[in-house]
Amino acid sequence: MMADGATLPASTSTLGNEGGIEIRNISKAFRRAKETEGVQALQDVTLTIKPNTFVSLVGPSGCGKTTLLRMLNGLITPDSGEILVGGKPPRPGPHMGFVFQSFRLMPWRTIRENVSFPCELSGMSDKERADRADRYLDMVGLRRFADSYPNELSGGMKQRAALCRALIAEPHYLLMDEPFAALDAQTREFMQIELMKIWQHHKSIVVFVTHSVDEAVLLSDQIVLLRPRPGQVSEILDVNLPHPRWEYDAREKREFVELRHHLWERIKAMVSADPQSEFYMRGVKSEAAQGPID
């Protein structure tokens, strides 16, 4: 997988070698205290993710994208059904990198100390930790800012640091929850290229949650379209655009345009047919609104 597998922390070696992710019939409801009827965030979701694939979860708000991601990390457990990550139930840890929309850097630590946090938890020595952090910071072009504090960095830099932190323990799984949503349009495009390059060198399973259809098509091998209330898998699409995609303008390819169009129409239909959506029956042709959802 990675060039220097010898420095892998001991905790990751116990993991099944590059195992895929198996999601079987999971359901999850959220209910507030004193409420009997909860909101069905996910219902009977089944999904298989093969090793070394980049999978995007897309769908309108309320379709349970983020919930599913948190379950893969083991931060929350499903009410029913089973998740197997590399053949085992998911548990949080440095073998799973997690990138959040809000960068979640500790303001009292320098970038280097922030980035090396997962290694610190697994008890790596100070020296080794700092070396590794510097190597990864080099990779995303932040080496110069290793001694800076997060409040001295721009949004794009902060998210690159957060990406570094997720990658530092050389994870087999990278879970990303709308990681570029808080960035401006231009920074976002550069970050997408950066992510594609990193993934090319460090193949792993990436599960990427996004609201942007464009982003999903550009980055993914596979797109899982989810439908809201209750959250269910609506459609799974393969993206067959050749890698590496930063070497040509993927957005101009016919397949890209068709996929993007298809996904967008489906999401529009879902939203305008969802009575709980603020855009219910609005701004969409009635034909689309009445169209089949599945």
Contact pick of 30, 100, 246, 264 for other proteins (by CB under 8 A) = 100
Selected range binding other proteins among 26-34, 109-117, 187-195, 208-216, rule: CB under 8 A: 109-117
Which positions ≥6 away from 202 have C-beta within 8 Å?
Answer: 1, 2, 167, 170
| Count of residues near other proteins by CB under 8 A | 34
Residues 1-20 contacting other proteins, CB under 8 A = 11
Q: Both tokens of residue 244?
A: 């590496």
Least distance to other proteins from the beta carbon of 86, Å?
15
Selected range binding other proteins among 30-38, 138-146, 194-202, 222-230, rule: CB under 8 A: 138-146
Q: Both tokens of residue 255?
A: 């397949």
Contact pick of 20, 60, 86, 94 for other proteins (by CB under 8 A) = 94
Q: Is the dihedral of CA 64, 68, 73, 74 positive or negative?
A: positive
62 binds other proteins (CB under 8 A): no
Contact pick of 32, 107, 242, 254 for other proteins (by CB under 8 A) = 107
- Per the CB < 8 A criterion, the answer to whether 204 and 52 are in contact is yes
Q: Can you give the length of the chain in residues? A: 294
180 binds other proteins (CB under 8 A): no
122 binds other proteins (CB under 8 A): yes
Contact pick of 2, 121, 288, 293 for other proteins (by CB under 8 A) = 121
Compute the distance between CA of residue 91 and CA of residue 98 in angstroms, rounded to an integer: 12
**Residue with smaller CB distance to other proteins, 146 or 270:** 146
Burial class from Cβ neighbours inside 10 Å (0-12, 13-18, 19+) for residue 231 reads: buried
Compute the distance between CA of residue 80 and CA of residue 211 in angstroms, rounded to an integer: 27
Which positions ≥6 away from 2 have C-beta within 8 Å?
Answer: 8, 170, 202
Contact footprint for other proteins (CB under 8 A): 11, 73, 75, 91-94, 96, 98, 100, 102, 104, 106-110, 117-118, 120-122, 144-149, 151-155, 165
